[in-house]
Amino acid sequence: MPYITIPDGTRLFYKDWGAGRPVVLSHGWPANADAWDAQMLLLVQSGFRVIAHDRRGHGRSDQPASGNDIDTYADDLATLISTLDLQNATLVGHSIGGGEIVRYISRHGSARVAKAVLIAAPVPLMARTETHPDGVPLEIFDGIRNALAGDRSQFFRELAVPFYGLNRLQAVPSQSLIDAFRAQGMTGGILAQYACVREFSEVDFTDDLKRLRMPTLLLHGDDDQNVPVEMSSRPAASLIPNATLKVYAGGSHGLIATHASQVNEDLLAFINA
């Protein structure tokens, strides 16, 4: 399996399929690169070079005790992009993967980036603060950390239900989605997953979003129970100079699986525009 080694010695697993213009996919929490199966298959069959890595501490990558923060995630992504010498790339991030690519562009510039796609990303800021009173109370994120520390296997099984909107009346039951979500989560390390809760809740991406000058597509479901669109992609789109926001009716947080055909259609149209 292919790995790159980060300067601190951490090895990152990645998939690198096909040839042509590169598309780089950054996964959400607590998943790994397998979450992008539907998108990777379509993109490679459509003539693109598609790359997806397991974030440090997640999936098949190493599980170091240090570096489990958004700045290091962005630096790891920079190492991957430079090592593979990717040019004119489209960066696509789901959930905290969206925060990762936004911070990458903010820290490392856009010389290698043509376009960006943020899917259900927790930007600009999720947590409630004195200057962000409409955010989510920190107690909610403390509850996530406590559930991880208590029984993360059971927590992932339960979290998958609202993640994919399976608790809605119109939802089609899918034990396979629940099983895949839990399986991906359990390949990661509890320390990294615990630390990452802060990164998707308390990190403020406001200034990073303002630095995105390339065409940027935001995709979000209007029934996202984990990252509500009104506190994320709607304000984020207003901060990005060249942004297009598409909201999926009835869409859950797990759009890349539950609405894969629609996401794929929008991705291809945006990349090829």
What is the domain partition of the chain in residue ranges? Answer: 3-272
* Mean pLDDT value across residues 204-212: 97
Q: Which among 27, 53, 94, 95 is annotated as catalytic?
A: 95
CA distance 146 to 155: 10
Residue 69 has pLDDT above 90, yes or no: yes
Is residue 70 very low, low, confident or very high in pLDDT (cuts 50, 70, 90)? very high
Q: What is the pLDDT of residues 119-129, one digit of tens each?
A: 999 999 999 99
SS3 content of the chain, % helix, strand, coil (to 5): 45, 20, 35
pLDDT band at 63 (very low <50, low <70, confident <90, very high): very high
Mark whether 253 is an active-site residue.
yes
Question: What's the chain's average pLDDT?
Answer: 97
Confidence band for 144, pLDDT divided at 50, 70 and 90 = very high
> CA 155: distance to chain centroid?
19
Query: pLDDT per residue over 95-111, tens digit each?
Result: 999 999 999 999 999 99
Q: Which residue among 27, 58, 253, 259 is the active-site one?
A: 253
Q: Can you read off the two tokens belonging to residue 212?
A: 């995105």
User: Which stretch of DSSP H or E encloses residue 17?
Assistant: strand 11-17
Q: Which is the CATH superfamily of the domain at 3-272?
A: Alpha/Beta hydrolase fold, catalytic domain (3.40.50.1820)
Strands 89-94 and 113-119 turn out to be parallel
- Could you tell me the pTM of the whole model? 0.97
